[in-house]
Amino acid sequence: MNPNPIEALAEQFEKFPGIGPRQAKRFVYYLLSRGFNEIDQLSLQIKNIRNSVAQCNLCMRMFSLSLPRLNRDSHNTTNTSENSINHSVTLCSICENKNRDSGILMLVSKESDLEAVEKSRAYKGLYFVLGGTLAVLEKEPEKKIRSLELINRIVNATNIAPTNTNLNPVSEVILSLSATTEGENTAEYIKRILKEIMEKRALKFNITTLGRGLSTGSELEYADTETIRSALENKK
């Protein structure tokens, strides 16, 4: 580690997504301008962040436990309003919500995608967070996204969450990925493995993908052929 504390901390911030050396340095000087209390507070929040979240065994998302827990070992014993943990099963508020349609499973690549969909209040099924996307010609896809966990989620849901009595078998999987090259490449890969397990396990469910069309703000003049085609198919 850099012996110079300012440089050393700046190097940490440089690892943050989208942060270059200059902004990293500015973060450090910003902190130096704050009071000890504010700095200690931030330091504590960072220290506890991993303990104050849990990973849902069903959808694999990271979610906040209402009460930050300072003791790492007590992980699976607390019980909070936002999630129920028993028999060492951790479920997020969405996965344990009996009012949601547990037969529909939407695949998203990351938590922030899930949040965007929740914000729209347009979806009432469950989710599965893949944890990434696949670049074209990705050598080891199963290391980039949770493909094995996905299969397990679809096949063994009831074993994963035996307590979740209202968990229906998956009848539809919605591929909810960005309309980008990586997103489409990921969708192609997922479709392939989903079809495989349908055969192997004699399962049957629909595989759907989000509709394409003009997204808010886009101008017809600049729309590409595929967007226009879909916009026409989806006219209403």
Task: Find the shortest distance in angstroms from Cβ 139 to a copy of itself.
Answer: 21
Q: Say how far apart CA 52 and CA 70 lie, in whole Å.
A: 8
7's tokens? 């440089």
Q: Considering beta carbons, is residue 64 or 155 the nearer one to a copy of itself?
A: 64
Q: Considering beta carbons, is residue 52 or 152 the nearer one to a copy of itself?
A: 52
Mind giving me the DSSP string for 153-185? HHHHHHHH-TT-TT-PPP-EEEE---SSHHHHH
Determine which helix (DSSP H) or strand (DSSP E) holds 108, and give its type and residue range.
Answer: strand 101-108
Q: Say how far apart CA 75 and CA 104 lie, in whole Å.
A: 29
Q: Considering beta carbons, is residue 165 or 225 the nearer one to a copy of itself?
A: 225
| DSSP annotation of 123 | -
Provide the 10 A C-beta neighbour count for residue 174: 19
181's tokens? 């090259």
Determine which helix (DSSP H) or strand (DSSP E) holds 90, and give its type and residue range.
Answer: strand 89-90
Q: Considering beta carbons, is residue 35 or 199 the nearer one to a copy of itself?
A: 35
Cβ-contact 138, 144 below 8 angstroms: yes
Q: Considering beta carbons, is residue 192 or 229 the nearer one to a copy of itself?
A: 229
Q: Considering beta carbons, is residue 120 or 159 the nearer one to a copy of itself?
A: 120
